[in-house]
């Protein structure tokens, strides 16, 4: 079965006054229909750039895709606006952003903004598009959709605006929805509503979702598969259970130990990851995480580790998983869980 | 532990003209013991930050009072009140990008408060700034740099150093970690915890990240539309919430555990926090509450202690159970 979206070896750079920022340094991932892939990482890790370069949303220049490919149902489309007569961005791929307020036009009423998508991509007449917009608002569970469609963004709350964004993104029934930090600016109660909505829309339409977030709890709730990004590379990827219960990369483990436990009992002291991510003007020759890693070896400083396969679909970019490293693979799982147990004890 | 600060029916309204009034903080009473950390959670618009600022005198009090070590603080701060209280109370702000003046060096930013202390010699300032920087894990050499040269986590450390150079007894932390990445959040939380122990600080820790508040606080208060709904030991409130609002808030908080998340039921609450303008009588949560009763729409429940439990809840469900 071919994946819906398959991205491989993606390299993206940006020209800035300070020099060239190597934002992506060989990123591979794929999503299948009906599946949710979560891309997790800190700010500056390249998670948004990865999706924006696929959809052609990064400004070029200063941005530049230096290598890589992106295939939709097996067909290459990177750098193109259209594929088989359909516009990639809007028709095939819908997108929602973190800040719904600044992503919408404050001088246009909500209904017209949703209708615009349909007029442009589907050639609907104005009135037909507007009545479809009301149906879409209903679909994303906005009460009194017909009245609300005539209102302006300032009359909506943050959670409601995010629903409007979702309605716009799914207007053309895309096969893939990219949600870039969709709930970061929202309260937990509203976040729960939006995540529920995304899940039920996915069930109804069978679309794939790529969820970009920095919040591991949201990942646990939503994802089928997870890719952990660090300094422009995916350092670990696998099923959500692989990432949470069998984490292999020291960065993934570090992120987990930096959070307070959610079960009762005595608290362990939080273990922050020391230091900060590397300077992307001149990424280090070796592993980018090496300076912050508590298990760094000599090889980590000089050579960037390749991707090692631990299990079916579970990949990690760390020298610890090299077959010749003592206690590789299975042993490391045990070490990893023992490490957590010891800290939580 | 003796009581350090007590709020009595602290109220702050904002008049918007045309008879509209925002009830940002409405009759909040609680006390914080010496050396204690009280966590304050609630949705945006619940009045958490306004409470913190009114408490410090940055906003005038509409009604009610703040009693600090037995002394009632003025409702409206005059310059001399600020001069005096800056030595005992300080604030750490949410946004480490907006709260540091980009045209001042870090050393100037941190030293600024010391001008309020007349007995400090000019030569002593540099030593104090160095000590403050080192206390938050930065270096003396950083004093001559500007804020833009630092990362978010480092800027938040600068904000902490600025607050702590005054050697306050009480610190209001207004969402100090919300703008930071997960790996850096833990650094700042650990730093605050260490400083609390070494300097004997008392803290009001405002945040919306429930798990982090549970971790850092001794007690936890839950606010909704300007009122406190529940207050008690942090672990009790988090693991056995009593107020329907707290229950919903905790149930909406996702956990980093896919196994448990798969079993999670669908959203327990619909609707959003209503506008705090001209709040109707009765319980503020009545409109969204799944357990609402007729009495809730008529009478505002008081924050009362539960029998056999070290906590206070403002809910009519427990009116029979109150001691």
Q: What is the mean pLDDT of chain A?
A: 85
Strand-strand pairing, A82-83 and A86-87: antiparallel
CB contact under 8 A, B182 and A43: no
Give the closest residue to A230 by CA, choosing from A38, A74, A39: A39
Give the pLDDT band of residue B33 (cuts 50, 70, 90): very high
Asked if residue B49 belongs to a domain, the reply is yes
List all residues 6 or more positions away from A250 whose beta carbon is below 8 Å from its beta carbon. A289, A293, A294, A295, A318, A320
Under 8 Å between Cβ of B3 and B32: yes
Asked if residue B285 belongs to a domain, the reply is no
CA atoms B177, B180, B185, B188: torsion sign: negative
> Are residue B201 and residue B260 in the same domain, yes or no?
yes
More confident residue, B259 or A114: A114
Residue B323 is predicted with a pLDDT of: 43
pLDDT over threshold 90, residue B105: yes
Residue carrying the six token digits 């010699």: B121
Neighbours of B79 (CB within 10 A): 7
Does B179 contact A at CB distance below 8 Å? no
Asked if residue B79 belongs to a domain, the reply is yes
Give the pLDDT band of residue A266 (cuts 50, 70, 90): low
Asked if residue B306 belongs to a domain, the reply is no
CB contact under 8 A, A258 and B185: yes
Query: Across the interface, which of B252, B256, B259 has its CB nearest the CB of A256?
Result: B256
> Are residue B152 and residue B8 in the same domain, yes or no?
no
Residue A326 is predicted with a pLDDT of: 66
Under 8 Å between Cβ of A241 and A228: no
pLDDT in tens, A168-183: 988 888 899 999 988 8
CB contact under 8 A, A241 and B255: no
pLDDT in tens, B109-157: 999 888 888 788 878 888 889 989 988 888 888 889 999 888 888 888 8
* Selected residue of A41, A158, A188 to mutate for chain B interface (largest B Cβ count, 10 A): A188
For residue B153, the enclosing domain spans 102-167
* Selected residue of B190, B197, B254, B263 to mutate for chain A interface (largest A Cβ count, 10 A): B254
> Are residue B193 and residue B69 in the same domain, yes or no?
yes
Give the pLDDT band of residue A331 (cuts 50, 70, 90): very low
Alpha helices in chain A (DSSP H): 47-54, 100-103, 110-122, 126-139, 145-148, 158-169, 188-205, 216-222, 240-245, 250-257, 298-302, 330-344
Give the pLDDT band of residue B309 (cuts 50, 70, 90): confident
Asked if residue B314 belongs to a domain, the reply is no
Chain A residues in contact with B274 by the CB 8 A cut-off are none
Which 228-287 residues of chain B touch chain A by CB within 8 A? 235, 239, 248-249, 252-261, 264, 266-270, 272-273
What's the angle, vertex CA B71, arms to CA B67 and CA B72, rounded to 5? Answer: 55
> Are residue B205 and residue B58 in the same domain, yes or no?
yes
From the CA of A307, how many Å to the nearest CA of chain B? Answer: 23
Under 8 Å between Cβ of A189 and B248: yes
CB contact under 8 A, B183 and A42: yes
Of all helices (H) and strands (E), which one includes residue B75?
Answer: none
CATH number at residue B52: 3.40.50.300
Residue A107 is predicted with a pLDDT of: 93
Asked if residue B229 belongs to a domain, the reply is yes
CA distance B175 to A307: 38
pLDDT over threshold 50, residue B74: yes
Residue A265 is predicted with a pLDDT of: 59
Chain B residues in contact with A259 by the CB 8 A cut-off are 182, 186, 211, 256
> Are residue B183 and residue B74 in the same domain, yes or no?
yes
Q: State the average pLDDT over residues A134-156.
A: 89
CB contact under 8 A, B272 and A157: yes
Residue B18 is predicted with a pLDDT of: 83
CB contact under 8 A, B252 and A260: no
Asked if residue B29 belongs to a domain, the reply is yes
List all residues 6 or more positions away from A237 whose beta carbon is below 8 Å from its beta carbon. A29, A225, A226, A227, A228, A243, A313, A314, A315
CA distance B195 to B115: 23
Give the pLDDT band of residue A327 (cuts 50, 70, 90): low
Give the pLDDT band of residue A1 (cuts 50, 70, 90): low
What's the angle, vertex CA B210, arms to CA B305 and CA B256, rounded to 5? Answer: 135
> Are residue B82 and residue B182 in the same domain, yes or no?
yes
Chain A residues in contact with B235 by the CB 8 A cut-off are 264
> Are residue B176 and residue B161 in the same domain, yes or no?
no
pLDDT in tens, B171-199: 999 988 887 777 788 888 888 888 888 88
Asked whether the bond before A62 is cis by omega within 30 degrees of 0, the reply is yes
Q: Which strand ranges, in their side-by-side order, compose the sheet holding B89-92? A: B89-92, B170-174, B202-206, B37-41, B219-224, B227-233, B311-313, B304-305
> Are residue B150 and residue B179 in the same domain, yes or no?
no
> Are residue B16 and residue B81 in the same domain, yes or no?
yes
Give the pLDDT band of residue B306 (cuts 50, 70, 90): confident
> Are residue B163 and residue B179 in the same domain, yes or no?
no
Under 8 Å between Cβ of A131 and A112: no
Q: Which residue of B has its CA nearest to A230?
A: B183
Under 8 Å between Cβ of A134 and A149: yes
Give the closest residue to B153 by CA, choosing from B128, B136, B140: B136
> Are residue B150 and residue B226 in the same domain, yes or no?
no
Q: Which residue of B has its CA nearest to A259?
A: B186
Asked if residue B292 belongs to a domain, the reply is no
| Residue at a domain's end among B152, B167, B182 | B167
Q: How many CB pairs under 8 A join A and B?
A: 118
Q: Which residue of B has its CA nearest to A187?
A: B43
The pTM of the full predicted model, rounded to 2 decimals, is 0.84
Under 8 Å between Cβ of B93 and B188: no
List all residues 6 or more positions away from A74 whose beta carbon is below 8 Å from its beta carbon. A2, A6
| Residue at a domain's end among B167, B192, B214 | B167
Report the number of distinct structural domains present in chain B.
Answer: 2
């Amino acid at each position: 079965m071919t994946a819906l979206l398959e991205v491989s070896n993606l390299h993206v750079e940006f020209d800035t006054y300070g020099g060239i920022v190597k934002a992506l340094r060989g990123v591979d991932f794929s999503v299948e229909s009906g599946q949710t892939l979560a891309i997790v990482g800190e700010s500056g890790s390249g998670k948004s750039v990865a999706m924006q370069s696929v959809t052609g949303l990064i400004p070029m220049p200063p941005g530049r895709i230096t290598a890589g490919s992106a295939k939709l149902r097996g067909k290459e489309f990177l750098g193109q606006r259209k594929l088989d007569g359909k516009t990639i961005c809007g028709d095939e791929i819908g997108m929602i952003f973190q800040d719904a307020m600044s992503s919408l036009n404050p001088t246009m009423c909500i209904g017209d903004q949703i209708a615009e998508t349909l007029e442009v991509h589907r050639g609907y007449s104005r009135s037909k598009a507007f009545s479809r917009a009301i149906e879409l608002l209903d679909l994303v569970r906005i009460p009194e959709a017909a009245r609300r469609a005539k209102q302006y963004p300032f009359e909506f709350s943050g959670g409601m605006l995010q629903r409007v964004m979702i309605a716009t993104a799914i207007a053309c029934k895309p096969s893939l929805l990219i949600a870039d930090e969709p709930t970061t600016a929202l309260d937990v109660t509203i976040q729960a509503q939006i995540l529920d909505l995304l899940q039920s829309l996915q069930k109804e339409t069978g679309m794939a979702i790529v969820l970009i977030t920095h919040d591991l709890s949201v990942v646990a709730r939503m994802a089928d598969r997870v890719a952990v990004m660090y300094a422009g590379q995916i350092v670990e990827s696998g099923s959500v259970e692989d990432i949470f219960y069998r984490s292999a990369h020291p960065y993934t483990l570090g992120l987990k130990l930096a959070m307070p436990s959610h079960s009762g009992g005595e608290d362990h002291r939080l273990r922050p990851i020391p230091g900060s991510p590397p300077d992307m003007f001149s990424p280090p020759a070796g592993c980018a995480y090496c300076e912050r890693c508590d298990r760094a070896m000599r090889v980590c400083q000089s050579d960037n580790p390749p991707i090692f396969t631990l299990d079916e679909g579970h990949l990690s970019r760390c020298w610890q998983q090299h077959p010749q490293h003592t206690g590789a693979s299975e042993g490391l799982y045990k070490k990893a869980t023992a490490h957590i147990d010891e800290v939580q004890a | 532990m003796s009581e350090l600060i007590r709020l009595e029916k602290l109220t702050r309204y904002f008049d918007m003209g045309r008879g509209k009034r925002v009830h940002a903080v409405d009759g909040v009473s609680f006390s914080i013991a010496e050396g204690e950390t009280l966590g304050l959670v609630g949705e945006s618009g619940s009045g958490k930050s306004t409470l913190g600022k009114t408490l410090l005198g940055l906003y005038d009090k509409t009604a009610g009072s703040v009693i600090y070590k037995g002394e009632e603080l003025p409702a409206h701060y005059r310059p001399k009140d600020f001069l005096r209280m800056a030595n005992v109370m300080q604030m750490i702000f949410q946004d480490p990008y907006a709260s540091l003046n980009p045209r001042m060096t870090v050393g100037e930013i941190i030293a600024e408060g010391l001008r309020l202390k007349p007995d400090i010699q000019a030569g002593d300032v540099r030593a104090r700034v160095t000590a403050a920087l080192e206390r938050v894990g930065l270096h003396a050499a950083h004093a001559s740099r500007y804020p833009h040269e630092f990362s978010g986590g480092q800027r938040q450390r600068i904000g902490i150093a600025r607050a702590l150079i005054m050697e306050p007894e009480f610190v209001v932390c207004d969402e100090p970690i919300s703008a930071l990445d997960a790996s850096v959040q833990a650094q700042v939380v650990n730093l605050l915890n260490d400083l609390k122990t070494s300097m004997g600080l008392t803290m009001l820790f405002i945040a919306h990240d429930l798990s982090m508040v549970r971790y850092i606080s001794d007690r936890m208060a839950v606010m909704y539309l300007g009122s406190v709904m529940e207050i008690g030991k942090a672990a009790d409130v988090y693991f056995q919430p009593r107020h329907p609002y707290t229950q919903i808030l905790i149930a909406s908080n996702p956990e980093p555990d896919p196994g448990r998340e798969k079993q999670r039921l669908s959203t327990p609450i619909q609707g959003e926090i209503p506008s705090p303008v001209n709040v109707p009588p009765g319980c503020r949560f009545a409109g969204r509450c799944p357990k609402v009763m007729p009495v809730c729409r008529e009478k505002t429940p008081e924050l009362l202690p539960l029998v056999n439990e070290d906590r206070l809840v403002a809910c009519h469900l427990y009116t029979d159970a109150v001691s």
